[in-house]
Chains A and B, each alone.
Chain A
Amino acid sequence: MSNTTPPAIPPGPRLSRATRIFIAVWLSLFVLGALNHNILPRAGLLLNLHLPHLRYGYVMFSRNFGVVAVPYYKPADSEELRPLAELVKTPAPFMKRTRTAVMVLMTKFEYFFALCESAPEAHGAEFVLKLHAPGRPEIDDQYRRYLCYQGQLYAEKAEQKLPDLGL
C-alpha cells in the first residue's frame, strides 16, 4: 500500500477526440463572434447569422444615448408625475424604470404610444417625456406633453415633434 495521499480530485479520463473538436470549434466561434463586432467589420468582413438575437448588430454597444427622454405619466386625478414604468405590469427586478425608458428609446417612442393603447390606467392621463440632451440647448431639459385618450396620444402642441434620438 502506498503511503502517499491520494489527490482529493481524481484526474478523470482523457478527453475524447469528439470533445476536443467540440471545444476547439466552440471557442473559435466565440472568438469569431467577438471579433465580428469590432475588428472584422473594419476589415471588410461581416458574419451575419440572421437569427433572432444572433443577427449582426444585435448585441454589444459602447456608445451612449446622446438624447434621453425619460417617460412619465400624470394620472387624470393627480398632479404628480409618476414613472411610466408603473403602467407596465410585468416586473423587472431592480431595473423597471430604466427598462421601460430604454424600451421607449430603442423603439423610437413606439412603445410610449403602445402603453397608452394597452394600459387601462393610461386613459385620461398625461404622458410626459422629459428630455435630456447635453449640447443641444434647444431641447435639453424640456418637456413634451401628450394626452392619452382612448388609446391615442395627442400632443399638447400640434407642432410638437419627438426628438431625433440619433440611434
Chain B
Amino acid sequence: MLKKQNRNYLTSAFEGTYPAGPLGLYRFLVYAGILIHFAPSLIFLEENYGSRVFRMPEWNTFLFDFLPAIPEEALVALSALTLLACVTGLLGLLPRTSAIVGGLGLYAFASFNSISVQTLALSSVWAILPLFAVSGAGSEGFSVSALWRRYKGRAPRPAPKWVRTVLLAQVLIGFFFAGVEKVMAGWPMSNEMYFVLNYPKDFMMRDWTFALPFLRTREAGLVLSVLTVFVELVVPLLLVWRPTRLVAFLVFEGFFAGVVATLEVPPLFYAIYAPAALLAFTAADWERYGSFFARRKEAGGGHDGSASAAELQV
C-alpha cells in the first residue's frame, strides 16, 4: 500500500490545472513538426502514393493492400483532409477533431507508404495525437481561441494538468529507455558515436562538421558516447527534481540542439523531444519565473508590476 503522502504526491502530479502557455506551445511545435515532416509527401501524392510507386511491403500489412483500390480523387481528398486537420491542430482549432482526423489520416498514409516519412519519431506521434484526441486539451494556449480570449479581455483557460504530466512522462520514458537500449547494446564503450562522426560526406553528418577534424577522433567519439548515455539516463530524472530542473532543462535543450546541428535528423524529432522539457516546469515554477521577469521589467521602468502565471498563458 502506498503511504498517504506518497499517494498525494503522485496524484498532485496529475490533478488540477496547468498554465496554458507551455502546453499550448508544445502542441503548436508538435503540429509544426508534423506538418514539416508529412506535408511534402501529402502534397507530392503521385510520387509517394501513386499506384505504381515504390513501396516497402514489409513495413505495411493490411493497409498496404488497399492502396491500389483507392480512387485517385479519394486519395487527394483524404490527403487534403489530413493536412487541414494538422493545420487546425496547429492553430488550436477543434483540438479533439483535429487530433482524431489528423492522427488517423497520418497513420493511414504512413502505412500506405512510409518511404518518405519513416523515422523513429513516428512512434511518438502515434502516442501524442491520441492523447490530444482523448483529452481535447492543448489548445488553451498558443491558439486562435487563446488570442480571441485575450482580445476580449478574458482570462486564459488553464489546461488539465494530467495531459501535461502524461505527455512529459511519455517523452521522458522514451528518452530514458533509448539510453537503456544503448547501454544494452554496448554503449558507451562500443564508441558508436565515433562511427557516426566518421560517416562520409553527404550522409548523416552536416557539412560544417567536416571542417572540424577533431570530431572524427576516437576520443571525441567516446566523450560524446558517454555524454549521450549520461544525458539519456540521468537528465530525465534531474528534470523532474525541482532543485536540478533548470540545469537539466538547459542540458536537455543543449543536447537536442547539438544533435540537430550535427546530424541530418528529421525536424519532427526535435519538435517532439526538445520542447517537451518545458512541461517539466510546474505551475509554481512558471509563476516564479513570471514574477521574476515582471520584477526585471518593472526595474527597467514602465510596468505596473503585477505578474502571474496567468500572463504566461497565451
Binding site for B on A (CB under 8 A): 8-12, 14-15, 19-20, 22-23, 26-27, 30-31, 33-35, 37-39, 42, 50-55, 58-64, 68, 70, 72, 83, 88-95, 97-99, 101, 103, 106-107, 110-111, 114-115, 117-118, 130, 132, 134
CB <8 Å contact, A111 and B115: yes
Residue from B41, B126, B176 within 8 A of A54 (CB atoms): B126
Contact flag A9-B115 (CB < 8 Å), given A27-B169, A68-B199: no
Chain A residues with CB under 8 A of B52: 118
**Complexed CA–CA distance, A61 and B187 (Å):** 12
CB of B177 within 8 A of CB of A132, answer no
B256 interfacial by beta-carbon distance below 8 Å? no
Cα–Cα, bound, A33→B120 (Å): 14
Q: Contacts A11-B17, A53-B114, A53-B126 hold; do A68 and B178 have CB atoms under 8 A apart?
A: no
The 8 Å CB contact of A68, one of B17, B184, B200, is B200
Convert B38-56 into 0s and 1s, putting 1 for each residue whose CB lies closer than 8 angstroms to a CB of A.
0011001001100011101
Q: How far is the CA of A33 from the CA of B201 in the complex (A)?
A: 35
Contacts of A118 in B (CB 8 A): 47, 52-54
Q: Does B308 have its Cβ within 8 Å of any Cβ on chain A? A: yes
The residues of B with any CB-CB pair to A shorter than 8 Å are: 11, 14-19, 36, 40-41, 44, 47-48, 52-54, 56, 59-64, 107, 110-111, 114-116, 118, 120, 122-123, 126-127, 131, 134, 158, 160-162, 166, 169-170, 173-174, 176-178, 180-182, 184-185, 187, 192, 195-196, 198-204, 260, 264-267, 283, 287, 308-310
Report the bound CA distance from A10 to B283 in whole Å: 10
User: Closest CB-CB distance, B216 to chain A, in whole Å?
Assistant: 11
Are A12 and B63 in contact, CB atoms less than 8 angstroms apart? no
Docked-complex contact A10 and B17, CB < 8 angstroms:
yes
CB<8 Å pairs between A and B, sample of 22: A9-B17, A10-B158, A12-B158, A22-B134, A23-B162, A27-B166, A30-B169, A30-B174, A37-B177, A53-B114, A62-B192, A63-B192, A90-B40, A92-B116, A94-B264, A95-B266, A95-B267, A101-B202, A101-B203, A101-B204, A117-B54, A118-B53
Chain A hits for B116, CB < 8 A = 90, 92, 99
Complex contacts, A99 vs chain B, CB 8 Å: 116, 264, 266
Contacts of B16 in A (CB 8 A): 9, 11-12
Most chain B CB within a 10 A radius of its CB, from A8, A54, A58? A8
